[in-house]
């Protein structure tokens, strides 16, 4: 017998949409390809979400949730000894090929947030807040100021990731002082 209908809904649709957006981008996403990736029609996307804007907004929210869950799942076993070690470990994780689609999408979210597109700002804020919290939990146990250190490392990380994104890997690598942090 043919596959039974999976009874689609926002909840079943969003993961499929997210997966499509992670590989194909967010800015150029249009209803018909999105629908095809989710096994439906544009007609049904509008039916479930009302219009494209709220679809994107809810999709961004969903993606922020995925990201948050991914961070939760990536808690290191033992705490790093130094801030530098923490930085390097987190950067290694963020540079992992598996995370690359996420990074590519991330800059699109930043761009949308900077331009004030609806939904982007909230998603970006949530993802940064989560990352900050997570980073704070990953700081060395004896760090005198974990919250401040997390903010500092986050700033360095994002600057480094951006330089990587635009092909300045060398600048990014040499931008981190050999000692200090």
Partner DNA sequence: CAGAGTATGTAGCACTCGCTACAAAAATAG
Partner DNA sequence: CTATTTTTGTAGCGAGTGCTACATACTCTG
Residue 172 Rama label (left phi>0; alpha psi -120 to 50; beta)? alpha
Is residue 31 a contact residue for a second copy (CB under 8 A)?
no
Instruction: Kindly tell me which residue out of 33, 50, 118, 175 binds a second copy, with binding defined by CB under 8 A.
Output: 175
CA 39/CA 19 separation, integer angstroms: 13
Is residue 139 a contact residue for a second copy (CB under 8 A)?
no
Sign of the torsion angle spanned by Cα atoms 74, 175, 132, 181 = positive
Q: In a 10 Å sphere around its CB, with 0-12 CB exposed, 13-18 middle and 19+ buried, how is residue 138 labelled?
A: buried
- The 93-112 site mask, x for binding a second copy (CB under 8 A), equals ----------xx--xxxxx-
Which of DNA, a second copy, none sits in contact with 152, Cβ below 5 to 8 A by type?
Answer: a second copy
Supply the DSSP symbol for 176: S
State the minimum distance, in angstroms, from the CB of residue 8 to DNA.
Answer: 5
Decide: 14 and 58 in contact? Cβ < 8 Å: yes
Which of DNA, a second copy, none sits in contact with 2, Cβ below 5 to 8 A by type?
Answer: none
Decide: 35 and 47 in contact? Cβ < 8 Å: no
Is residue 155 a contact residue for a second copy (CB under 8 A)?
yes
Instruction: Kindly tell me which residue out of 51, 82, 155, 171 binds DNA, with binding defined by CB under 7 A.
Output: 51
Instruction: Kindly tell me which residue out of 15, 25, 27, 33 binds DNA, with binding defined by CB under 7 A.
Output: 33
Place of tokens 């992670």: 22
Is residue 3 a contact residue for DNA (CB under 7 A)?
no
Instruction: Kindly tell me which residue out of 43, 81, 96, 173 binds DNA, with binding defined by CB under 7 A.
Output: 43
Is residue 151 a contact residue for a second copy (CB under 8 A)?
yes
Decide: 133 and 144 in contact? Cβ < 8 Å: no
In the complex, the residues that contact DNA under the rule CB under 7 A are 5, 7-9, 29-33, 40-44, 46-47, 51-53
């Amino acid at each position: 017998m043919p596959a039974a209908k999976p009874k689609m809904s926002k909840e079943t649709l969003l993961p499929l949409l997210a997966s499509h957006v992670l590989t194909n981008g967010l800015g150029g996403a249009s209803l018909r390809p999105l629908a095809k990736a989710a096994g439906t029609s544009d007609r049904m996307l509008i039916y479930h979400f009302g219009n494209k804007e709220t679809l994107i907004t809810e999709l961004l929210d969903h993606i922020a949730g995925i990201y948050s869950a991914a961070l939760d799942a990536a808690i290191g076993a033992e705490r790093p000894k130094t801030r530098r070690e923490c930085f390097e470990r987190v950067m290694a994780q963020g540079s992992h090929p598996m995370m690359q689609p996420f990074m590519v999408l991330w800059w699109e979210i930043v761009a949308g947030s900077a331009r004030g597109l609806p939904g982007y700002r909230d998603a970006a804020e949530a993802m940064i807040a989560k990352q900050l919290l997570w980073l704070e939990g990953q700081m060395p146990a004896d760090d005198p100021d974990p919250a401040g250190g997390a903010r500092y490392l986050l700033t360095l990380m994002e600057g480094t990731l951006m330089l990587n994104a635009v092909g300045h890997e060398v600048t990014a690598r040499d931008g981190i002082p050999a000692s200090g942090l």
